Copies of this chain bind each other. A is one copy, B any other.
């Protein structure tokens, strides 16, 4: 957790620091991201950074929490709490995709938070994040079963893992492929691409994916 000093900072300065840090952690794996570079670009003293955050990890986790929080808030505001499971899924995909496209920096940082093996605390934090995502889907699936829109014989836990994998990893790869880029970096570097994915296409994709979730791949009669 950032120290109190950080929150005492004038909002402008705080934002600037966050932005610079997002840039750095967004464009490099955690272990290659450099505090030295961040303070240099932000134009603040290195010592100051250590007045604001305990250490590199603390800063990174703060950014992740920030990103996750904003994403969650955005998605929740777009979802109808009373919708049935598949409608909610579709809305989640839609909102998640839009959020990513509109907040590429945050998206990048989250995407960069995958491989942190060997960084004890950090790794735990990320595992915890994944778990939260799965628990969320677990609850939704269970609710769907109760409402009768999801088959009772579905293994809830297994399904939650799969939905989670699809909506985080799978969907992101798919979108990057649509853009014809291999990294989010390239996407950020060419903002004109942002236009390429029209609202219509995003809707189409969400609907297709939802259909897949509902019906699977198999012939209906089978």
Contacts and interface: CB of A to CB of B under 8 A. Distances in A.
A30 interface: yes
Contacts of A10: none
A162 interface: yes
A100 interface: no
Given A141-B217, A150-B217, A215-B216, A29 B158 contact: no
A154 B208 CA distance: 8
What is the copy number of this chain in the assembly? Answer: 4
A174 interface: yes
A4 to B, nearest CB: 12
Closest 8 CB pairs of A and B: A165-B170, A216-B216, A115-B115, A214-B218, A161-B174, A28-B118, A29-B115, A127-B182
A34 to B, nearest CB: 11
Interface string A125-157: 001001000100000010010001111001101
Interface of A: 27-32, 85-86, 112-118, 123-124, 127, 130, 134, 141, 144, 148-151, 154-155, 157-159, 161-162, 164-166, 168-171, 173-174, 177, 182-183, 185, 205, 208-209, 212-220, 222
A149 to B, nearest CB: 6
A83 to B, nearest CB: 15
A123 B183 contact: yes
A209 B158 CA distance: 7
The winner among A165, A168, A173, A174 for most chain B CB atoms within 10 A is: A165
Contacts of A127: 182-183
